[in-house]
Structure 1
Amino acid sequence: MIRVLVVDDSAFMRKMITKFLTSNHQIAVVGTARNGEEALQKITELRPDVVTLDIEMPVMNGKETLEKIMADDPLPVIIVSSQTRKGADITIECLELGAFDFIAKPSGSVSIDLYKVKQELIEKVLAAGQPNNKEHSHPAPKPLSQLKSGFKNNRSTIPPTGTVKQLICIGTSTGGPRALQKVLPKLPKNLKAPVFVVQHMPPGFTASLANRLNHLSEVTVKEAENGERAKEGWVYIAPGGKNMAIRPEQGELVITLDDRDTASLHKPSVDYLFHSLTSVKGFEKVAVIMTGMGSDGTEGVKGLIKNGGGKVIVESAESSVVFGMPKAVLNTGLADEVKHVDEIAASIMTYMKKERA
């Protein structure tokens, strides 16, 4: 049983979140709190496994409360955030501070339509409450000695010449903002490849994420725009609520965004981005799958390998907040390397050519 403390200054929100969570037999709400100060007292008294934490509260707000939790006795915290620009910026800061994940209130600080995110809230609490947050319910990944066995593909069909261009594609979900913060700032300013990133997020948050990462990085990081041409040394983050695809046009890569639903049920979808790259010829591809729930990206990796090859890096269980997405790719036997998040940027750079003819 996962024991949850619900923190929100709205009695209505506390009641609704409690109702939704306790509808799942694996979750018990052991208490509620009206502000951060009260929450810290309840954490000491009740020892919950997971905390859902509102941001905008009197006495002590969510960010201040999170800082205290992470400093004193870290435990999984799910931020319950408004979709305002200010709310998005603070949410990204909370994820950097160590929050497990966040839920966006559909319509403001008191959302009577909170039922729209009921299932998402339950799934994230269940994931946060897992031992070490590692999705232990799944089979163990294949040993590294088996990574490349038993899969017919066109890997390495692109000759290793200096004339071939390169691109990097990254997929991540829960824990992704912190992981990206440990990878993108380590990429050099003169990176000879564009980088395309899918981070599972709802609309309104990816612009704040891109702005924050841009401030921290030597490469330019931005939220992707429909129709723009990708540049080397630039990082393009798919907007929340949009799928991003890449199409070749006269030797350049053009970004297209759309609203269509996908088999992965995510928007943006890692599979959707990766599948679009199968039609991009003349580019060596480095695919990276990092922390996240589920398996989005696995089918995309299979497609990349079958259609022109590429190198595949997955984040290790040790550093993943949730090992779902990396494990799913690892179990296909298609990963070239399994790396701690602190080593992923260096691993990417081992595949980057210093010069091109």
Structure 2
Amino acid sequence: MAIFPNPGGKLRVLVVDDSSFMRMVIRSVLEKDPAIEVIGVAVDGVEGVEKALALHPDLITMDIEMPRLDGISALRQIMAKCPTRVLMVSTLTCEGARATFEALDAGALDYIPKNVSDSTDAQRIFREELLRKVKGTAGSFLGRRLAPSATASVMTRVVPAPRPVASHAPLQRLQYVGIGASTGGPVALQEVLGRIPANFSHGIMVAIHMPKAFTGPYAERLNTKCSLLVREANDGDLLQPGVVLVAPGGRHTALVRQGNGVAVRTLATTDCPQYIYVPSVDHMITSLADACNGAMLGVILTGMGADGFKGMKHLKEMGGTTIAQDEATSTIYGMPRACVEGGVADSVLPLTQIGPEIARIAG
């Protein structure tokens, strides 16, 4: 359970959207939860900024496309004048994805895919996602911390496991890197990959919780900001040195042995009903560990929940090496925490040190 910014009181939310239908839907979903109070609504970015300054909400849901002042511009004004936790409400289009990543760079914590249709399943998924993200980000860090505080150690913190685990894979055996993330992950992953040199000699597979329409534009964005080649994975792709493949949204990704290499296999969510989050970090890391016999480095970045823990545990049992992002620099410490407290993180590092450490260990 998240710790709300105002312990003992309700989570106070401002809803900003130019669609009267969406304002009604979001308000109706949130007000059904006794721990949440919608303290106001705004019909565009101008009114959203005004009400944010006047009401001081704990969290804002912000539409992107609005008249007078769009959501990204409103977000920038709010972050400059009264920093507040903001969740963007994004359309499931390539344009919506690009705008969402721009908003995350500007300080938004996360996004909610706007997928409200006549489908009962779509409505249920939207309700569940909205509540999960609103409540999950309520106690998150506000702002961006890329390095530990002045009083924190900047050395690698080796975390003792509560039970014996397999020894690390010898450095010369490491062949691949698997990285998983969720909330806060788009910005964190950009930071990590941006610190890995272009001559990196191992293939990298990434699984980050995103809808189908978002992973392609996200990979394109990373490709323009990193020295490595980054692209969305396709079924049958081989992991190659110096190339980052991003697992496609809306499906699960498994890695399988193919000759002397490792290839991507995408699976429908119905084929893996045991996995709640899509694409599953657990499934990606577990299958990659199996495909390379543990000769890999697993990395878990910021995110809600515990996706990735089972995969990292499996990797440790096969002799692999693991890194988790530290609490001080995580937007949401859920996924890294599960690995640290479960004793499967060899090292716990601040965000700015993870990319260089990947290069050092696997280089």
Compute the TM-score of the two structures, normalised by the length of structure 1.
0.90
Matches of 1:240 and 1:273, distance apart in 2: 13
Whether the 8 Å contact between 1:169 and 1:195 is mirrored in structure 2 is yes
Match of 1:154 among 148, 166, 176: 166
Are 1:263 and 2:274 an aligned pair?
A: yes
- Give the 3 Å change call, closer, same or farther, for CA 339–146 of structure 1 in structure 2: closer
Counterpart of 2:105 in structure 1 is: 96
Are 1:36 and 2:36 an aligned pair?
A: no
User: Cα offset for 1:128?
Assistant: 1.8
Using the aligned pairs only, state the percent identity.
Answer: 36
Q: Give, as a single letter, the amino acid of the residue that structure 1 aligns with 2:278.
A: K
Matches within 5 A, 1:222-233: 222-233=231-242
Q: Give, as a single letter, the amino acid of the residue that structure 2 aligns with 1:294.
A: G
Whether the 8 Å contact between 1:127 and 1:133 is mirrored in structure 2 is no
Counterpart of 1:293 in structure 2 is: 304
User: Cα offset for 1:282?
Assistant: 5.7
Q: Deviations over 1:205-249 (max 9, x none)?
A: 011111100000110011110011121000011111111111111
User: Cα offset for 1:349?
Assistant: 1.6
Matches of 1:47 and 1:328, distance apart in 2: 32
Matches of 2:115 and 2:234, distance apart in 1: 24
Matches of 2:335 and 2:220, distance apart in 1: 25
Counterpart of 1:18 in structure 2 is: 27
Q: Give, as a single letter, the amino acid of the residue that structure 2 aligns with 1:327.
A: R
- Give the 3 Å change call, closer, same or farther, for CA 204–189 of structure 1 in structure 2: same
Matches within 5 A, 1:68-217: 68-106=77-115, 114-130=123-139, 132=141, 147-156=159-168, 158-161=169-172, 164-217=173-226
- Give the 3 Å change call, closer, same or farther, for CA 133–23 of structure 1 in structure 2: farther
Are 1:251 and 2:272 an aligned pair?
A: no
Q: Deviations over 1:261-319 (max 9, x none)?
A: 34231110000001102322366211110100000000111111112x11111111111
Whether the 8 Å contact between 2:315 and 2:321 is mirrored in structure 1 is no
Counterpart of 1:279 in structure 2 is: 290
Whether the 8 Å contact between 1:315 and 1:341 is mirrored in structure 2 is yes
Counterpart of 1:139 in structure 2 is: none
- Give the 3 Å change call, closer, same or farther, for CA 145–344 of structure 1 in structure 2: closer
Counterpart of 1:51 in structure 2 is: 60
- Give the 3 Å change call, closer, same or farther, for CA 55–335 of structure 1 in structure 2: same
SS of aligned partner of 2:295: strand
Counterpart of 1:67 in structure 2 is: 76
Counterpart of 1:236 in structure 2 is: 245
Query: Structure 1: 5+ residue runs without aligned partners?
Result: 135-143
Q: Give, as a single letter, the amino acid of the residue that structure 1 aligns with 2:159.
A: L
Match of 2:339 among 292, 313, 329: 329
Q: Give, as a single letter, the amino acid of the residue that structure 2 aligns with 1:147.
A: V
Matches of 1:227 and 1:122, distance apart in 2: 36
Whether the 8 Å contact between 2:140 and 2:331 is mirrored in structure 1 is no
- Give the 3 Å change call, closer, same or farther, for CA 129–150 of structure 1 in structure 2: closer
Matches of 2:171 and 2:21, distance apart in 1: 61
User: Cα offset for 1:132?
Assistant: 3.2
Whether the 8 Å contact between 2:183 and 2:303 is mirrored in structure 1 is yes
User: Cα offset for 1:71?
Assistant: 2.0
Q: Give, as a single letter, the amino acid of the residue that structure 2 aligns with 1:192.
A: S
Whether the 8 Å contact between 1:168 and 1:193 is mirrored in structure 2 is yes
Matches of 1:310 and 1:257, distance apart in 2: 23
Counterpart of 1:138 in structure 2 is: none
Matches of 1:32 and 1:160, distance apart in 2: 55
- Give the 3 Å change call, closer, same or farther, for CA 181–2 of structure 1 in structure 2: same
Whether the 8 Å contact between 2:158 and 2:348 is mirrored in structure 1 is no
Counterpart of 1:302 in structure 2 is: 313
Whether the 8 Å contact between 2:262 and 2:292 is mirrored in structure 1 is no
Matches of 1:297 and 1:112, distance apart in 2: 26
Count, aligned residues: 338
Matches of 1:121 and 1:265, distance apart in 2: 15
